[in-house]
Amino acid sequence: MKKIIILTTLVIFLMGGCSVNPEKANIKSVPTTANIQNLSTIKLPILMYHHIRDVDDPKDHMGNYLTATSKQFKSQLDYIQQSGFTPVTFQ
């Protein structure tokens, strides 16, 4: 019986949050800036790494999929630089 009461209360709260009040829906358009560059011309490659390490453990399946070796990392940075991009760090 407790489960039914809790479930009913939860459904009432969820349904109450789904209603629309047109008076409160005051949506305003935001003016665009005329001097913003066309976004299709911006090229910004972003590389993300979970780990950079030279450990090759066949038992570590998750780690192997989330890890780049230092050789792979250097190769990827060299490719980025040869393609005309300049790597930027947070330092």
Dihedrals phi, psi of 43, to nearest 5 degrees: -115, 115
Asked whether the predicted pLDDT for residue 16 surpasses 80, the reply is no
CA distance 68 to 50: 8
CA distance 80 to 45: 8
Asked whether the predicted pLDDT for residue 25 surpasses 70, the reply is no
pLDDT at 74: 93
Share of the chain above pLDDT 70, in %: 69
pLDDT at 82: 92
Is the Cα torsion angle 5, 7, 11, 14 positive or negative in sign? positive
CB 44 within 8 A of CB 37: no
pLDDT at 90: 76
Asked whether the predicted pLDDT for residue 27 surpasses 80, the reply is no
pTM for the whole structure: 0.46
SS3 state of residue 9: helix
